[in-house]
C-alpha cells in the first residue's frame, strides 16, 4: 500500500487524538527509520526518549526473543524468576531501596501520587481527603483523569471534568513560590527536573538542590518525574544526579523498556513503600517476565556502552553546531545532554510545525513542542558522523528560513552502516 492509503486507514478507523507528521514508518535500526516507500530518515525524537538505546538494539531484542520462548506473563498472582533480579538492578542504579513495577509512565506517576497521599495521611497525620501535592505550571505527567486535573494545558482538560482535587500549582523554577505554598496539609512536590513537553525548560542551577533542602526541612516529599529525563538522556543516568541530590520518590519509564515494550516503575524507600499492602495497588502486566527481561537488558546496554557519557559529549557537540548556524529566527537553544530544544521567534498564531515538515522532507524527523520549540532528542547511540548527517540537513532548513543566503549544495550520499538496511 502507499503512504497515503495507510494514513487514510488510520484517519478513518483511528481516533484523531494525535496530529502526526505525514510519514509512515515501516522499518528501523539504530538512529535510522525508513518509510513504506523506502526513504531513509534520522529519528530525532526517539519516541519522546523511549528509544535511548536506539531502535532494535540487538542485545535487547535477543533478551526479548529468549524470554518469549520461556514465559511472557504470569500476573502478580504468582512470582516469576525475572522480576526480583530486575528490580534489584533498577534500585542499585537509581540509589533507591524499593520499586513498584508498572507499564506506562502515567501509571508510575499515579503510583507515586497514591503512595504520597497514603504516606501523608498515615505518617504526617494529614486528615484524609485534605492532603495537597504541589505541582508546577506547564507540567506534563501523563493523560489520566487525575493527572490532567493538575495540568495547565487547557487542550488536555476541556470537557474531561470534574477534576481531581488536592493539587496546588506554582510557577516552575521558583523556589520562593514553593516555600510559600507549603501548609500543614502539604504532602510533597511533584516536579520534572526538566520540563520536556513544555519546550525543554531547563531550570536554574541549584533549583533541585533547593527543593531538596526545603522538602527535608519541612518534612515533605520530593517526587521527581524522570520518565523523559531518566536513563542517560541528560548526560547522567538521572537528571537529579547533576545536582547531587536524591528524591524521596522517583518515577521512571520510557527508555526502561528499551524501545520494545512499555515498562515503568515508581521507586522510593522501604519506609515509604510500607503504606502499600496486598490489594491496595497493582497491575496485571506490571512486572511481567517479558517486561523484566527487556528492561534488565535495556539497563545493561546503558551501563556497558557508557551511554550517559556519550549523551553528554554528543549533546555538547550537537548544540555547538546548532549555535553556529546562520539563523536569526532562532530565539534560544536550551539543552541538557541530548535533550535539546530550539525555540523560534514566531508571530501570533504561528507554530514551528511547517519547519518540522521541511525537516521531514529533508530526511530529519523532529517534532514541535509547545508550538514554538523544536525538540531534538535522537537515540543516545548516535555517532558524530550520524549527527553531522542530520546537522547538515537541519542547517539547510534553518538557514533557508529567512532566505538570506543561497541554499548550500546537497550533502554527500551517506556511507554509514545504515546502507545495509536499504
Tell me how far CA of residue 165 lies from CA of 113, 117, 134, 144, in angstroms.
12, 12, 12, 14
Rounded to whole angstroms, the Cα distance separating 219 from 398 reads 48
- Indicate which residue of 35, 43, 225, 296 is catalytic: 225
Is the N-terminal amide bond of 252 cis, ω within 30° of 0? no
Q: Cell numbers at residue 347, please?
A: 508571530
DSSP assignment letter at 162: S
Q: Cell numbers at residue 409, please?
A: 549544495
Contact 57, 301 (CB under 8 A): yes
Identify the H or E element spanning 348.
none
Look at residue 148 and give its three-state secondary structure.
Answer: helix
- Indicate which residue of 35, 43, 86, 140 is catalytic: 140
Rounded to whole angstroms, the Cα distance separating 94 from 253 reads 13
Instruction: Please give the distance of CA 202 from its chain centroid, rounded to a whole number.
Output: 14
Q: Is 93 exposed, middle or buried (0-12, 13-18, 19+ CB in 10 A)?
A: middle
Look at residue 26 and give its three-state secondary structure.
Answer: strand
Rg (CA), the chain: 22
| Those residues with Cβ within 8 angstroms of residue 261's Cβ, 6 or more apart along the chain or in another chain | 64, 290, 291, 294, 295
Identify the H or E element spanning 363.
none
Is 254 a known active-site residue? Answer: yes
Is 398 a known active-site residue? Answer: no
DSSP assignment letter at 200: -
94-106: buried (b, 16+ CB within 10 Å) or exposed (e) per residue? bebebbbbbbbbb
Is 114 a known active-site residue? Answer: no
Active site residues: 140, 225, 254
Amino acid at each position: 500500500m502507499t503512504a497515503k492509503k495507510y494514513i487514510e486507514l488510520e484517519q478513518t478507523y483511528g481516533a484523531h487524538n494525535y496530529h502526526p507528521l505525514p510519514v509512515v514508518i515501516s522499518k528501523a535500526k539504530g538512529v535510522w527509520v525508513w518509510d513504506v516507500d523506502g526513504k531513509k530518515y534520522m529519528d530525532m525524537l526517539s519516541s519522546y526518549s523511549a528509544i535511548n538505546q536506539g531502535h532494535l538494539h540487538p542485545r535487547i531484542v535477543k533478551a526479548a526473543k529468549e524470554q518469549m520462548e520461556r514465559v511472557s506473563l504470569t500476573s502478580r498472582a504468582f512470582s516469576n524468576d525475572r522480576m526480583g533480579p530486575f528490580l534489584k538492578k533498577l534500585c542499585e542504579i537509581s540509589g533507591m531501596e524499593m520499586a513498584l513495577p508498572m507499564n506506562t509512565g502515567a501509571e508510575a506517576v499515579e503510583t507515586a501520587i497514591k503512595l504520597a497521599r497514603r504516606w501523608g495521611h498515615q505518617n504526617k497525620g494529614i486528615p484524609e481527603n485534605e492532603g495537597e501535592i504541589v505541582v508546577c505550571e506547564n507540567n506534563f505527567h501523563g493523560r489520566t483523569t487525575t493527572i490532567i486535573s493538575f495540568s495547565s494545558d487547557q487542550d488536555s482538560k476541556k470537557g474531561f471534568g470534574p477534576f481531581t482535587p488536592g493539587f496546588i500549582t506554582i510557577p516552575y523554577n521558583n523556589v520562593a513560590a514553593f516555600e510559600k505554598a507549603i501548609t500543614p496539609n502539604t504532602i510533597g512536590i511533584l516536579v520534572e527536573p526538566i520540563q520536556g513537553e513544555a519546550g525543554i525548560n531547563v531550570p536554574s542551577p541549584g533549583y533541585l538542590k533547593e527543593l531538596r533542602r526545603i522538602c527535608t526541612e519541612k518534612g515533605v516529599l520530593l517526587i521527581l518525574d524522570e520518565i523523559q529525563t531518566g536513563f542517560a538522556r541528560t548526560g547522567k543516568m538521572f537528571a537529579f544526579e547533576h545536582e547531587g541530590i536524591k528524591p524521596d520518590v522517583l518515577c521512571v519509564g520510557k527508555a526502561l523498556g528499551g524501545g520494545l515494550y512499555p515498562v515503568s516503575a515508581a521507586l522510593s524507600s522501604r519506609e515509604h513503600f510500607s503504606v502499600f499492602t496486598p490489594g491496595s495497588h497493582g497491575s496485571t502486566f506490571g512486572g511481567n517476565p517479558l517486561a523484566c527481561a527487556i528492561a534488565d537488558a535495556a539497563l545493561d546496554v546503558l551501563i556497558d556502552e557508557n551511554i550517559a557519557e556519550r549523551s553528554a559529549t554528543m549533546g555538547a557537540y550537537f548544540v555547538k553546531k546548532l549555535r553556529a548556524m546562520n539563523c536569526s529566527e532562532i530565539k534560544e537553544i536550551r539543552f541538557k545532554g541530548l535533550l535539546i530544544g530550539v525555540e523560534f521567534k514566531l508571530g501570533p498564531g504561528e507554530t514551528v510545525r511547517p519547519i518540522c515538515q521541511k525537516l521531514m522532507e529533508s530526511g530529519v524527523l523532529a517534532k514541535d513542542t509547545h508550538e514554538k520549540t523544536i525538540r531534538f532528542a535522537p537515540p543516545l547511540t548516535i555517532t558524530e558522523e550520524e549527527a553531522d548527517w542530520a546537522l547538515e540537513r537541519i542547517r539547510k532548513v534553518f538557514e533557508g528560513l529567512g532566505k538570506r543566503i543561497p541554499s548550500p549544495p546537497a550533502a554527500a550520499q551517506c556511507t554509514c552502516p545504515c546502507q545495509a538496511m536499504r
